[in-house]
Each structure stands twice: as C-alpha cells, then as structure tokens.
C-alpha cells in the first residue's frame, strides 16, 4: 500500500522535477542573463568607440571647439575669424 505517495510523486514528475514555477524560471534565467550580458557588451563597445572616433578622449582646446562650431554651421565666417583672432591673441 502506498498511502497516496504514488500519486504525489506522479505530480512532481510532471512539473520540471518537482520545482513548479521555479523549474520553469530556471530554464529561462540563463537565457535572460546571457542576453543581458550581450546587451551590456554592445552598449560598452558603442560607448567607448564613439568617444575614440569623435576625439573627445582628452580635453579639447578652444580652437578645436571653434572649428567644430564653424563646421556645424553654428557661427558664420565673420564670427569665426573674430573669435579665432581672439584665441590666437592677435
């Protein structure tokens, strides 16, 4: 006579080794963790390489900033020349 143990053991065998919801989560947790690691790596790679290519790793001089503003069209030629002469000390 089993006194109901056979039935209980049968139910445990159908739910991921008897762990129920924890067993189901255990299947997806490594997948979610792996995706998180990959996304973190992509973020760090993009963040570091964008700083290298734009030249913002070190401090920019006033002339560098002035050239960038002129190249972006934020200031016109007259303002560029005036500020350039101010920075050069002429």
- Enumerate the domain spans of the chain: 1-58, 60-90
pLDDT at 3: 53
**Which pLDDT belongs to residue 36?**
95
Whole-model pTM? Answer: 0.37
- pLDDT confidence of residue 51: 60
**Predicted pLDDT at 89:** 82
DSSP 61: P
Residues in CB range of 57: below 8 A, 6 or more apart: 51
Regions of the chain short of the pLDDT cut 70:
1-23, 51-58, 90
Q: How many angstroms separate the Cα of 11 from the Cα of each of 1, 21, 75?
A: 18, 14, 75
């Amino acid at each position: 006579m089993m006194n109901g143990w056979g039935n209980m053991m049968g139910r445990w065998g159908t739910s991921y080794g008897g762990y129920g919801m924890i067993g189901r989560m255990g299947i997806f947790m490594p997948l979610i963790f792996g995706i998180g690691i990959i996304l973190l790596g992509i973020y760090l790679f993009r963040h570091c390489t964008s700083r290298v290519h734009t030249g913002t790793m070190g401090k920019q001089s006033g002339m560098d900033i002035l050239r960038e503003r002129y190249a972006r069209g934020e200031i016109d030629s007259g303002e560029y020349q005036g500020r350039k002469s101010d920075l050069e000390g002429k």
